[in-house]
Amino acid sequence: MEQAKSLELEILLTVKNNKTVPTRKFHELFEQGWNLYRSKFNELIVKKFLKIATQVPGICVFELNSKGEYRIDELLTESAREIESTNSGILNFLKRFQLNEFRRDHLSQDTTVLETN
């Protein structure tokens, strides 16, 4: 998954899993890396994946709306497809490698038989 989408997914999941963190402290969840996330976070607000809600009087928090929830599903599905594709490629490589090893072993056995005759 490309870095921008990975950042987006991290932010959306962080919002989903931290429903009680006040908006003014939200950036602290990302510790020293907030500068990396800030522009993607602002983009998510502009695209209306997030909203600000009042949890208790005077305390605002970030929440996902249905569009944000759908985006998480979309990004997770895309990531799962990429992982599946990578796994498939690795399995094919291993199968070819095993076949080549099998052929090499049999070829060396064949030449050993020829050399003894």
Segment 17-41, tens digit of pLDDT: 998 999 999 999 998 889 999 999 9
Q: Taking residues 38-60, report their average pLDDT.
A: 91
Number of neighbours of residue 81 by Cβ within 10 angstroms: 11
| 57 within some domain | yes
Residues 92-103 have a mean pLDDT of 66
Let me know: does 49 contact 67? Beta carbons within 8 Å: yes
113 occurs within a structural domain: no
Q: Which of 31, 75, 28 is nearest to 49 (CA)?
A: 75
Q: How many domains would you assign to the chain?
A: 1
Query: Considering the domain boundaries, does residue 33 fall inside one?
Result: yes
Domain annotation covers residue 28: yes
Q: What is the CATH number of the domain that holds 41?
A: 1.10.10
pTM over 0.95: no
Q: Is residue 20 part of a domain?
A: yes
Judge whether 36 lies within some domain: yes
Find out whether 30 and 82 touch, Cβ atoms under 8 Å.
Answer: no
Express as a percent the part of the chain with pLDDT over 90.
Answer: 54
Is the distance from CB of 26 to CB of 18 less than 8 angstroms?
Answer: yes
Q: What are the residues whose beta carbons fall under 8 Å from the beta carbon of 5, sequence distance 6 or more?
A: 75, 78
- On whether residue 50 sits in a domain, the answer given is yes
How high is the pLDDT of residue 108?
64
Q: Are 62 and 11 in contact (CB under 8 A)?
A: no
